[in-house]
Every structure is written in structure tokens, then in C-alpha cells.
Structure 1
């Protein structure tokens, strides 16, 4: 009884299967739904949304200021005059219009 010098078929299948699974999980860790590339996209999107949030917050503060200045409790006559002129399209007699 002589023993063959070639490796057993079971060992080959085990290592092939192990290599295949390692390749699959590595690919999933990089390219998958929760992989590294998706994480980079989420971080970039979060940064863009943070900038947009800051823009919206500054616009809200500006509108709150204008609303408060035109309220019944506090009336800014200069702002009221500016708004009335822009809506009605009128000027005073002593003003010069430059286009």
C-alpha cells in the first residue's frame, strides 16, 4: 500500500471555499451597502446638509428680524417705507432714480 503524494481533494476544496468567502466578505466590506465607499458618501452628504442647514438658519433669523421690525409692537418706519416703495413702485419728489 503506497500513499499518493498529491494533496487530498477535501483540503483543496476547503482552501478554495475559504478563499472565495474571504474575497466575498472583503468585497462586501468595501463596496457593500454598509461598506467604506458608502460611508464616505454618507459623510460627504452630511457635510453638504450641514452647510444647507446653516444657510436656512441664517435665512430664518433674517426673516424673524424683518417680521419683528414690521410687527405691531415695534414698527421700523424706514423698513416700512422701503417695503411700501418696492411694492407700489413709487418714489418721492426729491429723489433721483438711477438705473
Structure 2
């Protein structure tokens, strides 16, 4: 009888220990755990840096678009675009292949 009582008294603490271990493991490694949070924060920082780079590109494009608009015509930029896109050269220039 003492052996049955001691075995029965051991089942509950072992079961509680396994349950606590499961919840601890889930809190660290689960979908909403600590490791996942660190990964999400790293992804957020990477995406914020990418957003800043894209915002700079958009601002540069807006400036170039404004410089080519009818209200503000930059002749140097127009000349550069003609050379790049259409391949124009002036009569006094030498073209090297």
C-alpha cells in the first residue's frame, strides 16, 4: 500500500512539471515567443531601412520630374536626358565607341 500511495503522489508533481516545461518552451520558442519577437524586430528594422532608401529615391525622382516640368525647365538636365535616352551629341564632340 505504501508503494501505491507514493507512486500516486509522484504522478501529479511530474505531470505539473511537464506542463510547466511545455508552457516555458512555448513562451520561448512558440509563434508568439521570445525568439519570434526578436526575429520580428529585426525584420522591422530591415524594412524601415528599406523604406528610408525608397523614400530617398522617390524624393530624387520627384525633384527630377519637377526640374523637367513646364513650370521649371532645367536646360542642363534636358541636355543630359537627350544624350542618355536618344544618344544625341553636339557637332563639336568626338564619340568614342
Match of 1:78 among 59, 62, 76: 76
Runs of 4 or more, structure 1, over 4 Å off, are: none
Q: Secondary structure at the match of 1:47?
A: helix
Q: Secondary structure at the match of 2:71?
A: coil
Q: How many equivalent pairs are there?
A: 97
* 1:9-63 deviation per Cα after TM superposition (whole angstroms, max 9, x unaligned): 3321110111011100010011100001101110110011011000100000000
Which residue matches 2:46?
48
**Structure 1 stretch displaced more, 3-12 or 74-83:** 3-12
Q: TM-score, normalised by structure 2?
A: 0.88
Shift of 1:96: 3.8
Of Structure 1 and Structure 2, which has the larger fraction of its residues in helix?
A: 2
Residue segments in structure 1 that go unaligned for 5+ positions in a row: none
